[in-house]
């Protein structure tokens, strides 16, 4: 039940059309709740149906024609209620860790390479977050409502820092001592 609330948040920050929303997702909310345009359009329909948002009167409704949405009081209220809810962290679900577990059983040629590839990706993401921090949250100003947004960004940064750290250590250990990849099926000759 997160996507509709992600959309409400984005629309409250700025009324937008479906495509604008999609683009903005790609470089803000989408970092921790990614979504395709198809999904967004579908959800916009449902939100309008539910009376949580409406099309801005300025825009005329025609296929292939821009439709700007804005949040209605009911939508704001729904979002507020959702924020107040207690919700447990969703369980981790990570294929890479799973594959390492499988590699322990059936052998792991090339696993170190895959880890390096992931490391590069996470480093990239980390750099992107740091750039955003530099640009949007310079050390001096700590405007009050920005504090939460800043914390969220910090979360992203810390998360990528965890990954780069762990991957680095894992790679070190894998192609450092002993047989490469730890494969029981292909021990070092």
Q: In the chain, what's the furthest Cα-to-Cα distance?
A: 74
CB of 7 to DNA, least distance (A): 10
CB of 77 to DNA, least distance (A): 19
The phi and psi torsions of 56 (rounded to 5 degrees) equal -65, 130
109 lines the binding site for its own copies (CB under 8 A): yes
Handedness of CA 4, 7, 11, 16 (dihedral sign): negative
Span 23-62, contacts to its own copies by CB under 8 A:
29, 31-34
Residue from the set 57, 61, 64, 91 that interacts with its own copies by CB under 8 A: 91
79 lines the binding site for its own copies (CB under 8 A): yes
Cβ atoms 47, 53 nearer than 8 A: yes
76 lines the binding site for its own copies (CB under 8 A): yes
67 lines the binding site for its own copies (CB under 8 A): no
What does the block give as tokens for 179? 């047989």
Contacts of 82 (CB under 8 A, 6+ apart): 1, 5
6 lines the binding site for its own copies (CB under 8 A): yes
Residues that bind DNA (CB under 7 A): 1-3, 17-20, 34-39, 41-42, 44-45, 61-67, 91, 93
Residue 58 site contact among its own copies, DNA, none (CB < 5 to 8 Å, cut-off depends on kind): none
CA distance 97 to 122: 15
Residue from the set 2, 46, 51, 131 that interacts with its own copies by CB under 8 A: 2
């Amino acid at each position: 039940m997160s996507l509709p609330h992600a959309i409400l948040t984005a629309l409250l920050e700025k009324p937008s059309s479906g495509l604008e929303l999609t683009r903005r997702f790609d470089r803000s909310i989408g970092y921790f709740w990614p979504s395709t345009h198809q999904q967004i359009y579908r959800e916009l329909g449902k939100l309008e149906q539910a009376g949580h948002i409406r099309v801005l009167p300025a825009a005329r409704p025609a296929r292939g024609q821009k439709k700007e949405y804005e949040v209605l009081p009911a939508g704001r209220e729904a979002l507020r209620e959702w924020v107040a809810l207690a919700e447990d962290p969703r369980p981790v679900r990570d294929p890479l860790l799973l594959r390492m577990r499988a590699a322990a059983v059936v052998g792991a040629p090339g696993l170190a390479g895959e880890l390096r590839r992931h490391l590069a990706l996470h480093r990239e993401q980390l750099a992107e977050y740091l750039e955003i921090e530099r640009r949007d949250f310079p050390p001096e100003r700590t405007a009050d409502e920005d504090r939460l947004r800043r914390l969220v960004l910090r979360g992203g940064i810390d998360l990528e820092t965890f990954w780069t750290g762990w991957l680095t250590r894992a790679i070190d250990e894998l192609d450092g001592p002993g047989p490469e990849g730890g494969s029981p099926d292909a021990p070092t000759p």
